[in-house]
Amino acid sequence: MDADEFRQRGKEVIDFIADYLTNIRSRRVFPNVKPGYMRPMIADEAPKQGEPWENIFNDIDRVIMPGITHWESPYMHAYFPALNSYPSLLGDMLANGLNQIGFTWASSPACTELETVVMDWLAKMIGLPNDFLHSQADTTGGGVIQTTASEATLVALLAARKEVIRRIQSQFPYLSPAEINGRLIAYCSDQAHSSVEKACLIGLVKLHLVPSDDKLRLRGNALRQAIANDKENGLIPFYLCATLGTTGACAFDNLVELGPVCEREHIWIHVDAAYAGSAFICPEFRQLMNGVEFTQSFAFNPSKWMMVHFDCTAMWVKSSAALHRAFNVDPLYLQHENAGVAIDYMVMSIDQ
């Protein structure tokens, strides 16, 4: 495909998307197909010769559409809202065209600088404390875009694990990281998303599912009791994933009660507000995040309620230094003269 054909086909694809979204109400939301429906409809082997674009594009209606779940339909009420918008689609098209890879500041300065500024805007929009802002001079706080809320939960857990291992080793230098890791225990309510369990599986740490109250919220006393039992059994509490807006019932854990308990025990609190975080843009809902000042990290998904398409998770930490310690690698080929002055997002995330 050359540039002239790209111009033509690009316009056709835009028309196709606009027609699809305009007429989406007339489609059945969940497809009526069985597992394996697609295999007989397409070739067994990848074609050795390229095919004309028309053939490929016709397959969208013939092969793909029959198996599509129409997440953008106003009649889609399963899972969670995952709405995009025309500006989001255009932004993604531009991002694909420019194809930026921003693991360090030097790998594309504008990419890093835009992320830094916009993450501060977003933090202010939802009323996060100033400690989470890049522009706050006396902290190392700041925001980073992760792919998913599940990844943010894991990133926070790995940072918390690094911090607790450092702290325990400073008191008991003869204990190895593996010995300490084997005694670590994380907490969440019995309503938390399954990604917390997965993060613990990956991090090789135990997880205590603490019973929620009659309104499905995690409360201070229940956590205090769980911690006391676990410490009696020789375990080391280090991480709480509190949920603001649970998957099942949109319940809100009580940070005002949980905060002081965790502060006393040096427990990192990560807030998973994947689903409901966008609601904090409205000042009238902000009381549901009272106690957020006690937390070390916070994440929500603009890809759920902010009409930014999947996937996009906004995550903030109070101490980007903790993420640096967890993810610090320094290969020769990524070094640059502004390292240490500029942000290198690779040390705030898993990739690279």
Q: At what angle do helices 255-265 and 220-232 cross, to 10 degrees?
A: 30
CA dihedral 180, 318, 258, 282 (to 10 degrees): -150
Q: Which stretch in 67-75, 167-175, 215-223, 242-250 sits in contact with ligand PLP by CB under 6 A?
A: 242-250
Give the phi and the psi of residue 340 in degrees, each rounded to 5.
90, -25
SS3 229: helix
Q: Where in 118-157 is the site for ligand PLP (CB under 6 A)?
A: 148-150
Q: By CB under 6 A, is residue 169 in contact with ligand PLP?
A: no
With CB under 6 A as the contact rule, the residue among 116, 139, 195, 278 that binds ligand PLP is 195
| C-alpha of 57 from chain center | 32
Q: Where in 30-69 is the site for ligand PLP (CB under 6 A)?
A: none
Rounded to a whole number of angstroms, the minimum distance from the CB of residue 150 to ligand PLP is 3
Q: By CB under 6 A, is residue 352 in contact with ligand PLP?
A: no
For ligand PLP, the closer of residues 65 and 202 by Cβ is 202
For ligand PLP, the closer of residues 84 and 139 by Cβ is 84
For ligand PLP, the closer of residues 191 and 320 by Cβ is 191
Q: Where in 308-327 is the site for ligand PLP (CB under 6 A)?
A: 313
Of 100, 144, 92, 137, residue with least CA distance to 118: 144
Q: What whole-number distance in Å separates Cα of residue 274 and Cα of residue 149?
A: 6
- Asked if residues 145 and 91 have their Cβ atoms less than 8 Å apart, the reply is no
Q: Which stretch in 90-98, 165-173, 238-246, 315-323 sits in contact with ligand PLP by CB under 6 A?
A: 238-246
Q: What whole-number distance in Å separates Cα of residue 293 and Cα of residue 132?
A: 10
With CB under 6 A as the contact rule, the residue among 236, 242, 274, 348 that binds ligand PLP is 274
Q: Tell me the H-state helices in the chain.
A: 3-22, 53-59, 86-98, 109-125, 149-171, 177-181, 194-203, 220-232, 255-265, 302-305, 320-327
Q: By CB under 6 A, is residue 275 in contact with ligand PLP?
A: yes
Q: How many residues bind ligand PLP (CB under 6 A)?
A: 15
Rounded to a whole number of angstroms, the minimum distance from the CB of residue 321 to ligand PLP is 25
Q: By CB under 6 A, is residue 198 in contact with ligand PLP?
A: no
The continuous run of DSSP H or E covering 237 comes out as: strand 236-243
Q: By CB under 6 A, is residue 190 in contact with ligand PLP?
A: no
Using CB under 6 A, list all residues that contact ligand PLP. 80, 148-150, 193, 195, 243, 245-247, 272, 274-275, 301, 313
